[in-house]
Amino acid sequence: MKHLVTCMFLSLSAVLSFGAGLACAAEEGRAQSIIRNGEQASVRGSEQFFTGSVRIDPLYMADNDMRSSGGSVTFEPGARSHWHIHPVGQALIVTAGVGLTQEWGKPVQEIRPGDVVICPVGVKHWHGAAPNSSMTHISICEEKEPGKVVEWLEKVTDEQYNAR
Ligand code: MN
């Protein structure tokens, strides 16, 4: 009985604190938002930063409350990013196809759906599709300063791309 009362008390306080949290959020004018699939236009990856055909489907932007932004990036076979560095790191979640990634000075590695690649702060790397398969990954980056999630470097040469 004592246990039951304790449980009830805990549940009640959980409900009360959750309610208080909601009231607090409402006071500050915040609300959950749902960005519907198809609301945000796809963008073609610029030749300045990518080799081959790349499509970026924005998922969400950083704002005052959240420092991360997310996008889904689809690389056609053979397409890849240029070498680059993330000032606050990056997480990649592969969602389709077969891809490749490489850290400067290390071997090219194959990545597949469900794999999560962590690109730490300041580590030079690239990512893209395998030669005969497209690849889609979700990319999550944090901004160091508004809009700054990547520092672009040189192209990945065919020799570097094919060195497997
Ligand atoms: Mn990256």
pLDDT digits (tens, 9 = 90+) for 18-60: 445 555 555 577 888 899 999 999 999 999 999 999 999 999 9
Average pLDDT score over residue span 135-145: 93
Residue 11 has pLDDT above 70, yes or no: no
CA of 39 to the centre of ligand 1 (A): 25
Q: How remote is the CA of residue 90 from the centroid of ligand 1, in Å?
A: 6
Residue 151, strand partner residues: 85
Higher pLDDT, 164 or 106: 106
pLDDT at position 13: 40
Model pTM score: 0.81
Q: Is the pLDDT of residue 8 over 80?
A: no
* Amino acid in position 43: V
Output the six-digit token pair for 96: 């389709």
Q: How far is the CA of 6 from the centre of ligand 1 (A)?
A: 49
What's the average model confidence in pLDDT over 121-150?
A: 94
* Two structure tokens written together for 39: 């609301």
Which amino acid is located at 106 in the chain?
K
**8-state DSSP, 115:** -
State what percent of residues in the chain have pLDDT above 70.
Answer: 84
Q: Give 129 or 66, the one with higher predicted confidence.
A: 129
Residue 14 pLDDT > 50? no
CA nearest 125: which of 109, 143, 145, 142?
A: 109
Contacts with 62 (C-beta within 8 Å, 6 or more apart), sequence order? 68, 69, 142, 143, 146
